[in-house]
Amino acid sequence: MKRLALTCVATVLAAAVCTLLPAPQGAGAADSAAATGAPVVVHAKDFAYKPLELAIGVGTTVTFVNDDDSAHTVTAGALGDDKKPLFDSGNMDKGQKWTFTFKKSGTYQYLCTYHAFMKAKIVVTPPASS
Ligand SMILES: [Cu+2]
């Protein structure tokens, strides 16, 4: 329910801006990018990650792009007891990109350390043939 609410808010906020800009290529494909190896992009826009949920295969490299005027981070908590972030982009200013290759399967919840309400997740699945 929270996810839906965030999506709605983000959609409303984005509507005015999006009409002025060409639709990014592959934005729809990223939602269902289960294919391994395909380039996948997550956008930080209007204080929300898009897509909010992403399913990818092990070994996929995800590019995170900050499309906001505000700075953001892409920071994941630990899967286990280790409190060290699984990944952390550090500060990302407007227009900055950061990539991360997901080498281990699991569910990666991440957020922006500046705006803790910005949350999303990436589910990394192992290859089906193993
Ligand atoms: Cu942020």
d(CA 67, CA 96): 8
d(CA 67, CA 55): 21
C-alpha angle 39-40-42 in degrees, rounded to nearest 5: 150
Average pLDDT, rounded, for the chain: 77
pLDDT of residue 105: 92
pLDDT of residue 77: 74
Residues in the 5 Å CB sphere of ion ligand 1: 72, 112, 114-115
Which range of residues forms the domain containing residue 10? 2-125
C-alpha angle 3-9-15 in degrees, rounded to nearest 5: 125
129 Cα–ligand 1 center, Å: 38
The pTM of this model reads: 0.67
Asked whether 64 and 80 are in contact (CB, 8 A), the reply is no
Type of residue at 110:
Y
d(CA 23, CA 129): 35
Q: 15-26, pLDDT tens digit by residue?
A: 433 334 444 444
Tally of domains within the chain: 1
Q: 75-111, pLDDT tens digit by residue?
A: 997 545 556 678 999 999 999 999 999 999 999 999 9
Residue 117 belongs to a domain: yes
Residue 106 belongs to a domain: yes
pLDDT of residue 55: 96
119 Cα–ligand 1 center, Å: 10
Q: What is the CATH number of the domain that holds 85?
A: 2.60.40.420
Owner of token pair 């550090």:
90
Residue 130 belongs to a domain: no
d(CA 100, CA 115): 20
